[in-house]
Amino acid sequence: MKPVFTVTKGMLPVSTSYCPGCTHGVAHRIIMETLDEMGLLGKTIGVAPIGCSVVAHQFMNVDMCEAAHGRAPAVASGIRRVHPDKVVFTYQGDGDLASIGMGEIVHAAARGEKFTTFFINNGIYGMTGGQMAPTTLIGQRSTTSVDGRSREQAGMPLKICELLATLDGPDYIERVSLDSPAHIRAAKKAVRKAFEYQVAGKGFTFVELLSTCPTNWGLTPTEAMKRMREEVTAYYPLGVYKDTGKEAE
Amino acid sequence: MAVNKLFFAGSGGQGVLTMGQMLTYAAMYADMNATWLPSYGPEMRGGTANCTVVISTDKPVSCPLIYEADNVVVMNLPSLIKFESLVKPGGNLFVNSSMIDQKATRDDIHVYYVPANDIAMKLGNARTANTVMLGALVSVAPVVPVEMIYKIMEKTFSGRKAHLLDINKTAFHAWGKEQ
Amino acid sequence: MSEKVLMKGNEAFAEAVIRGGVRFYFGYPITPQSEIPEFMSRELPKRGGKFLQAESELGAINMAYGCGAAGGNGFISSSSPGIALMQEGMSFLCGAEVPVTLLNVSRGGPGIGSIQPGQADYNQVTRGGGNGDYRIPVFAPASIQEAVDILYEAPSIADKYRNPVMVLADGLMGQMMEPVMLPEPKHAFTSEEIPAAKPWAISGSEKGERSVVKSLRLQPEVLEAHVEHLYEKYAEMEKELEKVECEGLEDAEVVFVAFGTMARLAREAMELLEAQGIKAGMIRPISLWPYPYRAFDGISQKTKAVISVELSMGQMLQDINLGVKGRVPVRLIHRVGGMLPTSLEVVEKTKKILEEVR
């Protein structure tokens, strides 16, 4: 019998420890499937952040290291200097990248570092128990904004794709969402494009994946998907923010 | 001579640090032990410059820092005022009399007034004033062999700077000739 | 054998680590060591290496972590406040067992302090400011030649133990020039050689076992076992890396304890005291961790005082007391803020101390 589907070798044969309905598993899988399909699994080095996905190396079947909170882009810059011919990526949440690690991501992007960053934006600090993140939406409740985030008290949420797109360093920036099969397929295409650019020797590539955190959003997995589709994408529009390949055409 | 402590002071651009370095190189070429220590501060240009050189003929230099000096060179007035007291009794003070119209106040030291800038101008290159001064120092206090000064001059003034070698050698002996 | 050359401390330090096998430099400008990144930016590309100016000291230490995790021999230089910013990274490097060579050209503190020489980083570098149980070997050379010799070996020590190694100099040594003999360059691993030479490194190669470099160990029993493993390494370092120079302890009336530049000053004070008929000895710790406690057993019955000569408020006294074990009075001669004592000042203060303890 001919198998119609096999699990990618990019994922280790273990169950993830993420909450039910969390999209980390989906994000992991499309990244690893893409590397597998491109024949890059044995040539890739990944950097895990601090946050729920600090344990990404327990599931992603490539050489990996952990980075201190927010510092993954600096760590990847160091790795890249030693191994100029490998594929290097960081996988970072919104607290890690958009709050404590803002300095590192902006400078890595500005340097046009030849690695790919996957930015998992679920608008909340998951691992520490649902505190407000720099990406938490106005009105969104968290354990440090119990009546909902207010502009007066906490300012406005950060739009990272838009911010990084102002820089001349990056070659590719896209925001995708993991809320539906169609969007997941589109997300995988963005992941592939980022890796293709990297393999082709282009500079910094960045894919923001809008994600859910049903546990800390206080919603069921289905409600979380609905919220992401309706509320989150309204503030964080999907699309390509920078593509030097396209500009060149 | 076992240990000789030297101190050079002036304003930035007078070649004060270079004088000390030339001497340190010469000491190294002569297989002596030596240290060169500059003062350093936050400003990049101007201000005062000084450096300390310690030369030891046999054993390693114990301490690159000094509390008194056998030989002190002052290239401008503020340096004379500030560092005359650093000369140890019986030591030598070299005063750039082209730039300093005051006399030293102590009578327990040997003072040499060297019109370094005037001599350098007469030779046709104002920038050799520090070499004139270094020559005066070494002729009074032969802390390093003159051939080793030549050796570092030959290394410094080579290639594009080769045309400066002869004038520097002349400048090095200029004050001694006048005495 | 190479020729003797006259080099400024900072440039000699940089040349020594390149010869010791370092090919990657990460740093952020800070006085009084900025000649080092300047030198590295010129020299490393010529020698098959890479230079990267980081956005901050946080960036620098984490770039070095990535470099070391990937199997490269990385080097970081900074000065006191910059080293303070890197403490989290050092804890990470130790926890994840990643080698790197660090150089602290220390200055005055606390806070931004001054840019003049200081030794008030003693606690910062020997005790560490990062979290958790970890240790970093620290060497404090007293001459440019000694610094060159230590920095030349430091990358190999870091690799051997898979741990950071630190060299502590001060601004004065960084600016000073002394003749040095430079050692022959060691081999530096290319990226192709790394998977075989360092199979634990994340090199992105199909070498069989997958590599993971990490410091997170959520299960208590796993973390406990890991920390115990680290401490077996540290015990070995204590045995193998201790370095000290003792002089004239047999008949010394007074024994100085000093490291780095202050040891040079104390050395001259010994000569001046001897000329006045007072025999002085010296214990010069070259490794500040592991600290040479046993050297203090060599202090004789004739010794009336042990004096620490330091550019801090006496941060080394704790270690000295652990070595002296109450056998002899321990005193301090110090200056801070970038002020330096003269050897004459040390002599005068020593005579006063001897009068007190007699």
Q: What CATH number did the domain enclosing B141 receive? A: 3.40.920.10
* Residue C229 pLDDT exceeds 50: yes
Helix/strand/coil for C203:
coil
Q: Does C260 touch chain B (CB under 8 A)?
A: no
**pLDDT tens profile C8-65:** 999 999 999 999 999 999 999 999 999 999 999 999 999 999 999 999 999 999 999 9
Token digits for A233? 């994408």
Cβ-based neighbour number of residue C127 at 10 Å: 13
Distance in Å, alpha carbon of C178 to nearest chain B alpha carbon = 5
Full domain range(s) for residue C16? 4-240
Q: What CATH number did the domain enclosing C83 receive? A: 3.40.50.970
Residue A1 is predicted with a pLDDT of 79
Task: Say whether both C196 and C263 belong to one domain.
Answer: no
Question: pTM of this prediction?
Answer: 0.94
Q: Rounded to an integer, what is the distance from CA C72 to the centroid of its chain?
A: 21
* Residue C2 pLDDT exceeds 90: no
Task: Say whether both C181 and C305 belong to one domain.
Answer: no
**Is B62 in Cβ contact with C268 (below 8 Å)?**
yes
CA distances from C353 to C323, C330, C336, C348 (A): 20, 10, 20, 9
Q: Among C3, C177, C256, which would you mutate to test the B interface (most chain B Cβ atoms within 10 Å of its Cβ)?
A: C177
Residue B48 is predicted with a pLDDT of 79
What average pLDDT does chain C have?
Answer: 96
Domain boundary among C208, C240, C272: C240
> What is the four-CA torsion angle of C221, C222, C227, C228, rounded to 10 degrees?
70
Q: Does C238 touch chain B (CB under 8 A)?
A: no
**Is C203 in Cβ contact with A81 (below 8 Å)?**
no
A24-248 CATH fold: Rossmann fold (3.40.50)
Residue C206 is predicted with a pLDDT of 79
Three-state SS across A127-161? CCCCEECCCCCECCCECCECCCECHHHHCCCCCHH
**Is C342 in Cβ contact with B67 (below 8 Å)?**
yes
* Of residues B136, B74, B138, the one with CA closest to residue B100: B74
* Residue A107 pLDDT exceeds 70: yes
Residue B44 is predicted with a pLDDT of 47
Token digits for A94? 């919104």
Contact C151, C167 (CB under 8 A): yes
Residue B46 is predicted with a pLDDT of 53
Full domain range(s) for residue B82? 3-178
Strands A131-132, A124-125: parallel, antiparallel or unpaired by DSSP?
Answer: antiparallel
Residues of chain B with pLDDT below 50 are 43-44
Residue B179 is predicted with a pLDDT of 78
Contact B132, B175 (CB under 8 A): yes
Rounded Cα–Cα distance for residues A173 and A176 (Å): 10
**Is C67 in Cβ contact with A81 (below 8 Å)?**
yes
Task: Say whether both C249 and C211 belong to one domain.
Answer: no
What average pLDDT does chain A have?
Answer: 96
Burial class of residue C95 in the structure, from the number of CB atoms within 10 Å of its CB (0-12 exposed, 13-18 middle, 19+ buried): buried
**pLDDT tens profile A138-184:** 999 999 999 999 999 999 999 999 999 999 999 999 999 999 999 99
Element housing B140 (H / E): helix B129-140
Cβ neighbours of residue C192 under 8 Å, at least 6 residues apart?
none
Query: Count of domains in chain C?
Result: 2
Domain boundary among C198, C223, C240: C240
Query: Count of domains in chain B?
Result: 1
Task: Say whether both C210 and C322 belong to one domain.
Answer: no
ipTM value, please give it. 0.93
Q: Does A87 touch chain C (CB under 8 A)?
A: yes
Distance in Å, alpha carbon of B122 to nearest chain C alpha carbon = 33
Distance in Å, alpha carbon of A37 to nearest chain C alpha carbon = 16
**pLDDT tens profile C169-198:** 998 999 999 999 999 999 999 999 999 999
Task: Say whether both C220 and C78 belong to one domain.
Answer: yes
**Is A75 in Cβ contact with C63 (below 8 Å)?**
yes
pLDDT band at residue C5 using 50, 70 and 90 as cut-offs: very high
Element housing C288 (H / E): strand C287-289
Share of chain C above pLDDT 70, in %: 99
**pLDDT tens profile C242-273:** 999 999 999 999 999 999 999 999 999 999 99
Domain boundary among C220, C240, C260: C240
Helix/strand/coil for A219:
coil
Strands A239-243, A124-125: parallel, antiparallel or unpaired by DSSP?
Answer: unpaired
